[in-house]
Structure 1
């Protein structure tokens, strides 16, 4: 019996050693670990930075439009984000596998976007990267019009309706990126599942895309396999 207890304790220790803890990508004080890419700030010295810290929250003011991008590159991770629209609902998103800046419309980095737009949370948008899902023609449109650049069908609709909470309440979004596969949950509902992505690593970006959005949680947990 004693040997069984020892084996169980060793197994639990091994599991603990191989189960990384979530790491907050936002320290609640400043934008350390991130950099801003807002084209308008290049052109107009008076343009404001649309990404600010307010009352301990990371806030995207929505305008001028652009991105807040991690300095680090990530692969095989689970990203947990809690957000809400601070005023009028609108558009925003989380970009994964981000790389070359301003690759689309001189604004968006090469990436796959997980949409946060009100009533469309969980949609995929292909931004000079691509991904496959089940029922692609039903969710993306005619195959002949698919593409990853300007003028092409780049949106892949999510799987559910009604997963978002009422305006003013906090939403939880979990994005799991493992190899070339992406799964997305909104408030516990599986809302999208893509595979055969044309990238499997990159930076993470938050958007300023018209609407003010508050973030109170941006946690990343590496996904690692159990090794003996």
Structure 2
């Protein structure tokens, strides 16, 4: 009789321990936030150095046909007013004309920290045929196979003239020029993961920043964005 009672109790105890262990490692997603409302640039501000000397300089960021458009010039950044951490960011973008350069900057903080232009951050590259590269901007991150993907260690750095580029894991994940691409960026603690059109193209850890603003670039090429959505991620713990 005692054995019959003890066995069910042990089974219940094991289930409770397993559930507790799972809870400590699980994450949940909160309600998705659209960072672009399709009508104007509410929630964002521009930082375009050329406007310092000439306030009448045209902005590089507009809303056109329900899309957020980076015109490419004058060069600068469109930056969220709010700071974020632990999230999944979904961006749908395309180069409607000539291929060129652009990027999504995460964990952005001090403005114009590099070349008197780029905010301190980690850039997820969107340059045509290079989508998913990391460029470190007065921040840093570690990836597997660092030497293979970043070059000789003595050349690494986070400032002007140093090797700040970390190659992505795969080329060929982008759709043909003019078609829409989906980029997913996931930040959780000091880790950073990137997917392009469903392919995981980069993964880093030991990031020197874990929170900050999000920025879009104007870097010489016109880019259209039809979706910029953020879903907060919360780690479950005791």
**1:11: which partner in 2?**
none
**2:55: which partner in 1?**
45
| 2:169 corresponds to 1:159 | yes
Larger gyration radius, structure 1 or structure 2: 2
Matches within 5 A, 1:102-113: 102-113=112-123
**1:149: which partner in 2?**
159
**2:198: which partner in 1?**
188
**Distance apart, 1:227 and its partner CA:** 6.2
Residue by residue over 1:118-173, the C-alpha shift from the partner in whole angstroms, topping out at 9 and shown as x without a partner, is 00000000000000000111111110010000000000000001100001100000
**Distance apart, 1:41 and its partner CA:** 1.2
| Alpha-carbon distance between aligned partners in 1 of 2:195 and 2:29, rounded to the nearest angstrom | 21
Which runs of structure 1 show a deviation greater than 4 angstroms over 4 or more consecutive aligned residues? none
- 1:212 pairs with one of 197, 213, 222: 222
| 2:99 corresponds to 1:89 | yes
- Structure 2 unpaired stretches of 5+: 1-27
> What TM-score do you get using the length of structure 2 for normalisation?
0.87
| Alpha-carbon distance between aligned partners in 2 of 1:142 and 1:199, rounded to the nearest angstrom | 23
| Alpha-carbon distance between aligned partners in 2 of 1:19 and 1:174, rounded to the nearest angstrom | 15
> What TM-score do you get using the length of structure 1 for normalisation?
0.91
- Structure 1 unpaired stretches of 5+: 1-17
Does the 8 Å CA contact 2:29/2:231 hold for their aligned counterparts?
Answer: no
| Alpha-carbon distance between aligned partners in 2 of 1:168 and 1:207, rounded to the nearest angstrom | 18
* Aligned length in residues: 211
Matches within 5 A, 1:23-102: 23-102=33-112
Residue by residue over 1:177-214, the C-alpha shift from the partner in whole angstroms, topping out at 9 and shown as x without a partner, is 00010000000000000000000000000000000000
**Distance apart, 1:108 and its partner CA:** 0.1
Aligned alpha-carbon RMSD (Å): 1.0
**Distance apart, 1:225 and its partner CA:** 2.5
Residue by residue over 1:5-29, the C-alpha shift from the partner in whole angstroms, topping out at 9 and shown as x without a partner, is xxxxxxxxxxxxx641211000011
**Distance apart, 1:47 and its partner CA:** 1.4
**2:183: which partner in 1?**
173
**1:134: which partner in 2?**
144
